[in-house]
Amino acid sequence: MIFFSLKKAVSLTSEITLKVRKMNRLFTKSEKAKVNYLSQVIQIDNIRPHANADRLEIVTYQGANIIVAKNSVKLGDVMIHCAVESCLNKDFLSKNNQFEDKELNADKEIKGFFNKKARVRAINLRGEPSRGFLFPPQWLKVWQPELDIDNIKDYVGIEFDMVNGSLFSKKYVPMKQKSRKDKPPRNRYNNVLKNFDKLVESQFNFHYDTQFLAKNLDRIEPDDIISITTKYHGTSAVFSNILINRKLNRFEKLLKKLGVKIETTEYGTIVSSRGVIKNRYINKALPEGFYDVDIWLHASKQIAPMLAKGETMYAEIVGYLPDTANFIQKNHDYKCNEGEYEIYVYRVTQTNVDGIVYELSALQVQQWCKSRGLKPVKELYYGRAKDVYPDLKIEQHWAENLLERLKNDQENFFMECNSPDCYNEVPHEGIIIRNESKGNMPAFKIKTEAHYLMETKLLDEGVLNIEDGEADDDNCLEP
């Protein structure tokens, strides 16, 4: 009897292990996954009629409206949600007949609404914005018949960009036009690149991807002290005065081999865009990149002398590319004169010799900038979260109601207004919320619907974002 029980227990354990392995393999994240462009398994908990279309309904998920055909979704349904401006697997779309070009679909008689670039676009349909795409899990089996999705409810809440080992979704980036500047450096440059790397492990840190507040409502409580600042539409920059490797001369190398203690590090400047370190290698002959001027290195001439040892400054550069009539972001002048730009600081850290990072609070960042004559991001509110809108009842879905009020607050936060910081009429991008009461918790963002629609329009036109222009990823997922 004991033997039988043990045998049954082993069998049950094996079944559970196998189930866990299948779950871990079905929906996963790739190494290059972008947190704001992941797909997700969700369960529908709200549906409302479209105000201006009898055959359409609206599902709201994480603060965003998604327009669906009437009666295509029911309360309690498990669906797959795809983020706006993500790019979906073309083979998946083809097998499910989702392309507007019938020739791209498995069934040449059926027309969908995805263009050949497979983008999830922000649209305005009959006066209602729609941001995102929903589809039933069964479509995954049409794409990959071997998938086991019988227990799909077990996956609710899971975010992913891989399905059963295949890349399903990613951030959409327009295909940039190749030019002479895109060609790789000649061999002698490559040799220099490999010659000396200045980075010391654990000293330099890129800025994290700022997540949406709608996905993190549980991370702000009514009594928390929060900072709300303007979100600027420019290009991110990182300026660091950190420990770097020191290039030794021949005599120092010889002494080191003989056992003499030689200092191999020193404090020096590291400059980067959002994802590319500009001066990681000692290579004075390296040609310039995709743009005529490297605005990040240009700005570092102003910033680097202001940084104390160990300091890293994270900022947004807005306005024009230096000495040109070209905007950093189309039409977003930020009241700069042509050929000039401004630098707005949103984050400062201090890194010690052991690589331990201390984060300045939002209030300290404002003071730090003032002491150096730099411009911090514009602070729109600082205080307890519950005091942003004192009339909201804490016991009645306070966090959800806070999000809804913030999204539509024109008076205090310029949401869905033109940017008050630009001469040109362009949409205000949104706001950044930082929780001062939770230590090093990352900041969160809310973007305006108008800005989403503008970005979609620019992507439709093939306008390349200055940051995406540095990416080397393919723009779409091929079958």
Q: Using CA atoms, how far apart are residues 61 and 192, in angstroms rounded to an integer? A: 50
**pLDDT for 179 beyond 60:** no
Residue 110: domain span: 26-171
Considering the domain architecture, whether residues 224 and 153 belong to the same structural domain is answered as no
Determine the pLDDT at residue 18: 44
Which 8-state DSSP code applies to residue 459? Answer: H
Q: Is residue 476 part of a domain?
A: no
Determine the pLDDT at residue 255: 87
**pLDDT for 181 beyond 50:** no
Domain endpoint, select from 171, 194, 215: 171
Opening angle at CA 395, ends 389 and 397, nearest 5:
70
277-305 pLDDT per residue, tens: 999 987 554 444 445 689 999 999 999 99
Q: Is residue 1 part of a domain?
A: no
Considering the domain architecture, whether residues 229 and 113 belong to the same structural domain is answered as no
**pLDDT for 185 beyond 90:** no
Considering the domain architecture, whether residues 355 and 320 belong to the same structural domain is answered as yes
Q: Which helix (H) or strand (E) holds 411?
A: helix 410-413
**Average pLDDT of span 79-88:** 96
Which 8-state DSSP code applies to residue 100? Answer: S
Determine the pLDDT at residue 479: 43
Q: Using CA atoms, how far apart are residues 275 and 204, in angstroms rounded to an integer? A: 12
Residues 6+ apart with CB under 8 A from 51: 126, 127, 128
Residues 6+ apart with CB under 8 A from 198: 244, 245, 268, 270, 279, 280, 281, 282
Q: Using CA atoms, how far apart are residues 471 and 398, in angstroms rounded to an integer? A: 39
Q: Using CA atoms, how far apart are residues 419 and 432, in angstroms rounded to an integer? A: 15
What are the structure tokens assigned to 474, written together? Answer: 């393919």
Of the candidate ranges 68-82, 121-135, 175-189, the one whose mean pLDDT is the lowest: 175-189
Q: Is residue 13 part of a domain?
A: no
Q: Is residue 333 part of a domain?
A: yes
Determine the pLDDT at residue 8: 55
Considering the domain architecture, whether residues 157 and 185 belong to the same structural domain is answered as no
Considering the domain architecture, whether residues 207 and 303 belong to the same structural domain is answered as yes
At position 50, the amino acid (one-letter code) is H
CATH number where 266 lies: 3.30.470.30
Per the model's pLDDT, the better-predicted residue between 439 and 77 turns out to be 77
Q: Is residue 162 part of a domain?
A: yes
Of the candidate ranges 222-231, 282-291, 432-441, the one whose mean pLDDT is the lowest: 282-291
**pLDDT for 95 beyond 70:** yes
Q: Using CA atoms, how far apart are residues 206 and 425, in angstroms rounded to an integer? A: 32
**pLDDT for 200 beyond 90:** yes
Q: Using CA atoms, how far apart are residues 47 and 239, in angstroms rounded to an integer? A: 46
Considering the domain architecture, whether residues 234 and 101 belong to the same structural domain is answered as no
pTM: 0.85
Considering the domain architecture, whether residues 193 and 128 belong to the same structural domain is answered as no
Rounded to the nearest 10°, the torsion over CA 331, 171, 357, 227 is 50
Considering the domain architecture, whether residues 293 and 346 belong to the same structural domain is answered as yes
Counted domains in the chain: 2
Q: Is residue 10 part of a domain?
A: no
Q: Are 381 and 361 contacting, i.e. CB atoms less than 8 angstroms apart?
A: no
Considering the domain architecture, whether residues 107 and 189 belong to the same structural domain is answered as no
Q: Is residue 6 part of a domain?
A: no
Considering the domain architecture, whether residues 417 and 323 belong to the same structural domain is answered as yes
Determine the pLDDT at residue 282: 79
Q: Using CA atoms, how far apart are residues 457 and 473, in angstroms rounded to an integer? A: 21
| One-character DSSP codes across 384-400 | EGGGTSTTS-TTTTHHH
Q: Model confidence at 16, in pLDDT bands (50, 70, 90)?
A: very low
What are the structure tokens assigned to 374, written together? Answer: 């730099």
User: What percentage of the chain exceeds 70 in pLDDT?
Assistant: 86
244-261 pLDDT per residue, tens: 999 998 988 888 888 989
229 backbone dihedrals φ, ψ, rounded to 5°: -125, 165
User: What percentage of the chain exceeds 90 in pLDDT?
Assistant: 76
Determine the pLDDT at residue 476: 52
E-assigned strand segments in 120-262 = 123-125, 128-130, 133-135, 159-160, 162-163, 166-167, 169-171, 211-212, 225-231, 235-245
Question: Residue 219, Cβ neighbours under 10 Å: how many?
Answer: 16
**Average pLDDT of span 56-60:** 95
Considering the domain architecture, whether residues 249 and 165 belong to the same structural domain is answered as no
Q: Using CA atoms, how far apart are residues 13 and 18, in angstroms rounded to an integer? A: 9
Distance between start and end Cα atoms, the chain: 55
**Average pLDDT of span 350-373:** 96
Domain endpoint, select from 171, 195, 215: 171
Considering the domain architecture, whether residues 60 and 99 belong to the same structural domain is answered as yes
Task: List, in sequence order, every residue forming a beta bridge with 199; answer none if it has no partner.
Answer: 244
Domain endpoint, select from 106, 139, 171: 171
**Average pLDDT of span 420-439:** 96
Residues 6+ apart with CB under 8 A from 225: 382, 383, 384, 385, 435, 436, 437
**pLDDT for 20 beyond 50:** no
